[in-house]
Amino acid sequence: MTKLSVNINKIATIRNARGAELPSVTEAAIKLQEFGAQGITIHPRPDERHITRKDVYDLKPLVHTEFNIEGNPHRPFIDMVLEVKPEQVTLVPDGEDAITSNAGWDCEKNLGFLKNVIAEFKNAGIRTSIFLDPNPEMVKFAAETGTDRIELYTEAYASNYSKNKEDSIKPYIETALEAQKYGLGINAGHDLSLENLKYFADNIPNLLEVSIGHALISEALYMGMENTVQAYLKRLAKW
């Protein structure tokens, strides 16, 4: 079964709007795991507009499933991850002013940089994943970085799902099949939702994990957090 990791950035965004501690990021992580989430994802940014550095350290002892920290690997981020030692680090090439992640790595152009960064994490025993657009030709260079996994950037799939889901998923299947040839694990995330997740999960080979935040937290406003997590797990189940 594909694992569900819940991105709790949106919880932090709501909290920060009032400058207090409600809703609690740590309590959300505890409850989400109780409700069945198999991982907690955070994406701290330099401006701390949602997840803060303090959150990262507060969450570490509370995540007993899988702790996944995403981010652009500038030096402060690298040092923080090496200190916290999550189960997985996902490298994302987002700019400091990006509202949300909006592109995967050009692994050919950034090969040397990614090799060095990934070596640091792997030497510390941290599994690595790199954010990748659905482009089979980029997989070879991703493999050369030494990463353990790739995370397929799924915005294009989600945006076009209602128009033509078969065409939308095709480059993702091709990229996943190419990744298998190189022994890379496959994660996915960005704009996946209750509407489009099942078709994606049923058609992507070797899909190990999805990271979902914005849609899941939004849907939980109507359905409740526990019901929403269970609904996502049902979408991922293979009977």
Task: Give the angle 96-102-103 at the CA atoms, nearest 5°.
Answer: 105
- The residue among 52, 79, 67 whose CA lies nearest residue 209 is 67
Report the SS3 class of residue 70. Answer: strand
Collect all residues with Cβ–Cβ distance below 8 Å to 64 and sequence separation of at least 6: 33
Measuring CA to CA, how many Å separate 59 from each of 133, 188, 229, 235? 29, 22, 19, 27
74 has binding-site annotation: no
Among residues 66, 190, 209, 219, which one is catalytic? Answer: 190
* Residue 13: both structure tokens together: 């965004």
15 has binding-site annotation: no
Among residues 66, 70, 178, 219, which one is catalytic? Answer: 70
18 has binding-site annotation: yes
Asked about 70 being catalytic, the answer comes back as yes
191 has binding-site annotation: yes
45 has binding-site annotation: yes
- The residue among 193, 199, 198 whose CA lies nearest residue 211 is 193
Asked about 43 being catalytic, the answer comes back as yes
What's the CA gap between 188 and 169, in Å, rounded?
12
Among residues 43, 66, 151, 178, which one is catalytic? Answer: 43
Task: Give the angle 182-135-203 at the CA atoms, nearest 5°.
Answer: 75
- The residue among 42, 76, 71 whose CA lies nearest residue 59 is 42
Q: Residues 81, 42: contact at Cβ < 8 Å?
A: no
What are the residue numbers of the active site?
A: 43, 70, 190
Residue list, annotated binding site for 1-deoxy-D-xylulose 5-phosphate:
45, 50, 100
Residue list, annotated binding site for 3-amino-2-oxopropyl phosphate:
7, 18, 191, 213-214
